[in-house]
């Protein structure tokens, strides 16, 4: 297992190219299961989760090629309908093949994705919706089996705007004649990106980005040529690293329109943000920021995936502030690691109180999930002295070539074998 060694306390400067969005690419790659025609997806980030998807689609019988951020998928004969445990346990997003396979073959078997460090993450919303569309659900040996003599369009009201359930049901309904309506569905920008891809494949999808989406499907979907949107969580992570360390950092191939809740909070903390078409510039003194409370919410609220990096930034605030994590029940694992670097944080259930300290100090710390790892990078870049971040395979799941991008920004970072 690799570690990062970071010598913090230097300002950042220069330009960083933001990669394509992991959380937009994963459902769009799953959508290639909906068609027998060739698909070519560009701006796909080179990440562990994409490699896992490559493995999964090939296992299911597609023939995939991935290079220079372009992912190509060809059909072969005899697609499998089973996403096995050892692939699903590596990446929960593997279950996004459920909607496409159920629609195409009226049967799918996939391993119940176990929980992960940030929460139990059940899939009841997905299964309830599939049942309403006519699927029978059964369980065997840790797998879920969905079968349907025939699927029918339905009006589905989600009890919670689940991102994955919205994506799964959009894809399922796209290959089904008639109109399916999703109510109280997720509004994330990645949902809009998937909708644009499904429309290019021949479905009609209206309302993506709002809480009511109408999907009118067809019998056959076409192949796809598509370019994935920028990664707004990577963008936010670099914005926070620059805000915490100080300096001027220009982020390219991204879009300020994706960053509203984070930009609003950063400006309140005293960080200067300017933007032009396709780029965002952060200017920060690297001094102690003003304390700003945040609460994570479904989009368009503050994204839960930036809660941990935000907490790292607020660790040096000039005063106290609160972070409320409303989406996942166990997403404060990074707090204890930040405290090893001198942060003063009290966690009670889903609330963290951060009392800002003058200085963070480098220390050996451990990543527990993708975004907790990102938080440790933000803290280590701003901290005085040397930090060692362990279990960076978590970070590799969500950030493409992060050490190269940080080094280009002036950060002293190296990847070492543990």
- Applying CB under 6 A, the residues found at the interface with ligand EPZ are 23, 26, 93, 119, 121-126, 160, 162-165, 186, 304-305, 327-328, 370-371, 398
Return the structure tokens found at 136: 């029978």
Nearer to ligand EPZ, 192 or 305 (CB): 305
Nearer to ligand EPZ, 240 or 370 (CB): 370
Q: How far is the CB of 137 from ligand EPZ (least distance, A)?
A: 13
Q: How far is the CB of 391 from ligand EPZ (least distance, A)?
A: 15
Return the structure tokens found at 283: 């200017």
Q: Give the full edge-to-edge strand order of the sheet including 143-147.
A: 82-83, 107-111, 143-147, 136-140
Q: How far is the CB of 186 from ligand EPZ (least distance, A)?
A: 6
Nearer to ligand EPZ, 311 or 363 (CB): 311
Nearer to ligand EPZ, 9 or 398 (CB): 398
Cis before 299? omega within 30: no
Annotated catalytic residue, options 39, 64, 116, 172: 116
Nearest to 25 by CA among 61, 58, 59, 66: 66
Compute the Cα dihedral for 237, 238, 241, 242 and give only its sign: negative
Nearer to ligand EPZ, 198 or 327 (CB): 327
User: How far out from the chain centre does Cα 302 lie?
Assistant: 14
Nearer to ligand EPZ, 92 or 412 (CB): 92
Residue 39 designated active-site: no
Q: How far is CA 253 from CA 21, 30, 241, 280, in A?
A: 11, 24, 18, 9
Q: How far is the CB of 241 from ligand EPZ (least distance, A)?
A: 17
**Cα 22 from Cα 305, distance rounded (Å):** 12
Type and span of the H or E element at 74: strand 70-74
Nearest to 295 by CA among 263, 333, 327: 327
Q: How far is the CB of 214 from ligand EPZ (least distance, A)?
A: 20
Q: How far is the CB of 187 from ligand EPZ (least distance, A)?
A: 10
User: How far out from the chain centre does Cα 17 lie?
Assistant: 18
Q: What is the DSSP letter of 326?
A: -
Phi, psi of 15 (to 5 degrees): -130, 140
Return the structure tokens found at 220: 């056959």
Contact partners, residue 301, CB within 8 Å, separation at least 6 = 261, 295
DSSP 157-208: E-SS--HHHHHHHHHHHHTSBEEEEEES----HHHHHHHHHHHHTT-EEE-B
Compute the Cα dihedral for 207, 208, 214, 217 and give only its sign: positive
Nearer to ligand EPZ, 113 or 202 (CB): 113
Q: How far is the CB of 77 from ligand EPZ (least distance, A)?
A: 30
**Cα 306 from Cα 265, distance rounded (Å):** 12
Which residue's CB atom is positioned nearest to ligand EPZ? 164
Just list the catalytic residues. Answer: 116
């Amino acid at each position: 297992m690799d570690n990062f060694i970071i010598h913090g306390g230097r300002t950042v400067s220069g330009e960083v190219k933001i990669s394509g969005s992991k959380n937009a690419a994963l459902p769009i790659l799953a959508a290639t299961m909906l068609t027998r025609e060739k698909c070519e997806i560009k701006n796909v980030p080179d990440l562990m989760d994409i490699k896992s998807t490559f493995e999964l689609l090939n296992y299911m019988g597609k023939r995939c090629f991935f290079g220079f951020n372009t992912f190509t998928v060809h059909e072969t004969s005899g697609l499998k309908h089973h996403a096995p445990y050892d692939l699903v346990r590596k990446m929960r997003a593997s279950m996004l093949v459920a909607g496409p396979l159920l629609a195409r073959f009226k049967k799918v078997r996939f391993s119940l994705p176990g929980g992960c460090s940030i929460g139990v993450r059940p899939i009841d919303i997905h299964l309830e919706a599939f049942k309403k569309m006519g699927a029978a659900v059964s369980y065997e040996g840790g797998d879920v089996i969905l079968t349907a003599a025939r699927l029918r369009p339905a009006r589905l009201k989600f009890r919670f705007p689940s991102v994955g359930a919205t994506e799964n049901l959009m894809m399922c309904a796209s290959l089904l004649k008639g109109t399916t309506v999703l109510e109280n569905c997720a509004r994330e920008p990645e949902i809009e990106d998937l909708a644009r891809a499904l429309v290019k494949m021949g479905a009609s999808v209206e309302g993506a980005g709002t809480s009511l989406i109408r999907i009118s499907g067809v019998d056959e979907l076409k192949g796809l040529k598509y370019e994935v949107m920028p990664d707004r969580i990577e963008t936010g992570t670099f914005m926070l690293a620059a805000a915490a360390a100080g300096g001027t950092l220009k982020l390219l191939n991204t879009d300020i329109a994706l960053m509203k809740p984070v930009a609003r909070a950063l400006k309140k903390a005293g960080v200067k943000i300017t933007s032009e078409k396709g780029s965002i510039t952060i200017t920060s003194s690297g001094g102690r920021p003003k304390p700003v409370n945040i609460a994570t919410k479904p989009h368009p609220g503050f994204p839960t995936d930036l809660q941990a990096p935000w907490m790292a930034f607020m660790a040096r605030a000039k005063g106290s502030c609160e972070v409320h994590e409303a989406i996942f029940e166990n997403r404060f694992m990074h707090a204890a690691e930040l405290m090893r670097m001198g942060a003063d944080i009290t966690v009670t259930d889903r609330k963290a109180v951060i009392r800002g300290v003058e200085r963070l100090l480098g220390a050996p710390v451990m990543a527990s999930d993708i975004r907790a790892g990102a938080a440790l990078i933000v803290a280590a870049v701003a901290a005085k002295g040397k930090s060692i971040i362990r279990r960076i395979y978590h970070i590799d799941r969500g950030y493409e070539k992060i050490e190269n991008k940080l080094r280009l920004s002036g950060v002293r970072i190296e990847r070492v074998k543990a």
